[in-house]
């Protein structure tokens, strides 16, 4: 079954779920915030690469000097400027490993963004179907209220001609009041669903199409679903990249135990450095080697700490794999149960509809009471509501299953939107040596 049926069918020109998912992909603030977070993480790579680059410092000073004794003081102006350049030649492979660590963190953050994209699209699909469900439930409650109001009128007419009792009228009126309260509750639920839709997708929910077409994306078997999740679930890939980052972090810290070699040069000029000299120039270049011998145990402790963190990330990778597997199995079970519930609910609705018609006919010939009709109507509304809920659960369960295997993204769904390319910003900033503006001009 590809679409919600019965009271959930919408007009042909309604907004489709794919259009709503596309709006959420483009406009959802949570997803856009995750993209901004990734762009911030991208900057860790040029920061790590700065270890290869020189530092240049300029300095200047100016003042007035007084020299001599109290009886013979000599005043003269003095000024100087200098330019210093320092280039690191070797720093214990810390630049290499820090860069690799930063790149691994960027890859992990990309997978985190993909996970956020899936969560956003799942929230959007859920909000979309919830609006359709609650709209259908409101329609059911209105039909039920209209039916019960007709029963009240009929009971009063029978009472007026002496064929019914005051009890029949009171029972019908009580059920009509109950239906009116249920309608108000359904309207409140619909308003809540519309508000969530507006929050997630960014526009008001007006006319929505009941055709969801989720079946084409659902795996054909549980084995296929588990294989898909192992290959495509972003949470697993994120955890794997964090293991790489932790490994490079150890190597970067260990590099602090190795020598550091720098090449330093400077140029300077001073005016009136002494009473007999107008100016003097100075230039120098020299190499420095710093060999750490003992660092009060701090670096050693940090290395041990980093190794424990590596062990933690490896264990977390196993935990994530197990969680993903459990999520896939659970989502598969929920989806299969929802499909079975729809079949059962459809059969119950058909049977109860026939039962209500039979009770009404029997009431006309005096074999059934008004209460029997009211009970049959209540049971029919309950079964119709169960069908609507089962149809909603099947669609949402399908999207949950697709998200669990890692396929609920714009590319897999073929959404007609401009794709966000996370590599574009990364490539724009990776090798930047200077500049305060972001690639988009800020």
DSSP-assigned states of every residue in 58-89 = EEEEEEEEEEE-SSSEEEEEEEEEEEEEEEEE
| In contact, 311 and 246? CB cutoff 8 Å | no
Distance of CA 279 to the CA centre of its chain: 65
- How many of the other CB atoms lie within 10 Å of CB of 416? 10
Instruction: Going residue by residue through the chain, which has 442 residues, state the pLDDT in tens, using 9 for 90 and above.
Output: 334 544 444 344 557 888 899 999 999 999 999 999 999 999 999 999 999 999 999 999 988 877 766 667 777 788 899 999 999 999 999 999 999 999 999 999 999 999 999 999 999 999 999 999 999 999 999 998 998 898 888 888 888 888 778 888 898 889 999 999 999 999 999 999 999 999 999 888 888 877 777 888 899 999 999 998 988 999 999 999 999 999 999 999 999 999 999 999 999 999 887 777 778 889 999 999 999 999 889 999 999 999 999 999 999 999 999 999 999 999 999 999 999 999 999 999 999 999 998 988 888 877 888 888 888 889 999 999 999 999 999 999 999 999 999 999 999 888 899 999 999 999 999 988 888 887 877 7
Q: What sections of 263-297 are H helices per DSSP?
A: none
DSSP structure class, residue 14: S
Sheet strand arrangement including 73-90: 55-68, 73-90, 260-274, 277-290
Which are the contacts of 130, defined by CB distance < 8 A and separation ≥ 6? 193, 196, 197, 392
Q: What sections of 161-221 are H helices per DSSP?
A: 166-201
Report the pLDDT value the prediction gives residue 12, as an integer from 0 to 100.
Answer: 45
- Choose among 215, 216, 197: nearest CA to 206: 197
The Cα diameter of the chain in Å comes to 137
Report the pLDDT value the prediction gives residue 13, as an integer from 0 to 100.
Answer: 52
Q: Is 406 helix (H, G, I), strand (E, B) or coil?
A: coil
What kind and span of H or E run contains 140?
Answer: helix 94-160
- Choose among 440, 434, 424: nearest CA to 38: 424
Would you put residue 92 in left (φ > 0), alpha (ψ -120 to 50) or beta? left
Q: How far apart, in whole angstroms, are the C-alpha atoms of residue 38 and residue 426?
A: 9
| In contact, 87 and 52? CB cutoff 8 Å | no
Length of the chain: 442
* Residue 405, token pair as written in the block: 């295997």
- Choose among 14, 199, 414: nearest CA to 4: 14
* Residue 412, token pair as written in the block: 């897999």
Report the pLDDT value the prediction gives residue 112, as an integer from 0 to 100.
Answer: 95
Which residue is listed with tokens 């619909």?
Answer: 190
Which are the contacts of 185, defined by CB distance < 8 A and separation ≥ 6? none
| In contact, 372 and 175? CB cutoff 8 Å | no
Would you put residue 187 in left (φ > 0), alpha (ψ -120 to 50) or beta? alpha
Which are the contacts of 12, defined by CB distance < 8 A and separation ≥ 6? 209
First to last CA, the chain: 49
Q: How far apart, in whole angstroms, are the C-alpha atoms of residue 130 and residue 200?
A: 12
Radius of gyration for the alpha carbons in the chain, expressed in angstroms and rounded: 37
Q: What is the pTM of this model?
A: 0.86
């Amino acid at each position: 079954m590809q679409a919600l049926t019965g009271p959930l069918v919408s007009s042909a020109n309604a907004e489709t779920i794919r259009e709503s998912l596309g709006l959420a992909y483009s406009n959802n603030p949570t997803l856009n915030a995750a993209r901004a977070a990734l762009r911030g993480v991208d900057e860790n790579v040029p920061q790590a690469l700065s270890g290869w680059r020189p530092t240049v410092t300029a300095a200047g000073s100016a003042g007035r000097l007084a020299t001599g004794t109290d009886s013979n003081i000599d005043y003269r102006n003095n000024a100087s400027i200098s330019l210093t350049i320092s280039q690191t030649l070797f720093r214990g492979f810390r630049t290499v490993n820090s860069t690799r660590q930063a790149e691994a963190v960027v890859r992990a953050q990309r997978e985190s963004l993909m996970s956020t994209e899936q969560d956003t699209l799942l929230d959007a699909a859920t909000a979309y179907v919830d609006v359709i469900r609650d709209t259908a439930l409101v329609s059911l409650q209105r039909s039920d209220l209209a039916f019960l109001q007709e029963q009240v009128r009929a009971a009063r007419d029978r009472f007026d001609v002496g064929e019914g009792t005051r009890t029949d009228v009171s029972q019908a009126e009580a059920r009509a009041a109950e239906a009116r309260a249920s309608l108000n509750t359904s309207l409140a639920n619909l308003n809540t669903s519309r508000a969530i839709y507006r929050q997630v997708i960014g526009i008001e929910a007006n006319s929505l199409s009941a055709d969801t077409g989720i079946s084409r994306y659902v795996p054909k078997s549980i084995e296929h679903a588990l294989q898909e999740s192992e290959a495509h679930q972003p949470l697993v890939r994120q955890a794997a990249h964090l293991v790489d980052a932790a490994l490079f972090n150890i190597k970067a810290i260990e590099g602090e135990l190795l020598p550091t070699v720098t090449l330093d040069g400077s140029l300077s000029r001073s005016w009136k450095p002494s009473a007999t000299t107008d100016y003097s120039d100075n230039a120098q270049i020299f190499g420095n080697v710093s060999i750490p011998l003992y660092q009060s145990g701090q670096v050693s402790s940090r290395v041990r700490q980093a190794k424990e963190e590596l062990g933690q990330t490896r264990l977390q990778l196993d935990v994530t794999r197990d969680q993903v597997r459990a999520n896939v199995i659970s989502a598969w079970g929920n989806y299969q149960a929802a499909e079975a519930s729809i079949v059962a609910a459809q059969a119950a609705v058909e049977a109860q509809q026939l039962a209500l018609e039979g009770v009404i006919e029997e009431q006309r010939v005096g074999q059934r009471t008004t209460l029997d009709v009211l009970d049959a109507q209540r049971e029919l509304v309950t079964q119709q509501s169960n069908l609507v809920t089962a149809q909603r659960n099947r669609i949402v369960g399908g999207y949950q299953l697709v998200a669990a295997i890692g396929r609920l993204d714009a590319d897999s769904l073929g959404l007609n939107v401009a794709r966000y390319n996370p590599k574009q910003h990364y490539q724009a900033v990776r090798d930047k040596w200077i500049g305060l503006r972001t690639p988009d001009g800020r």
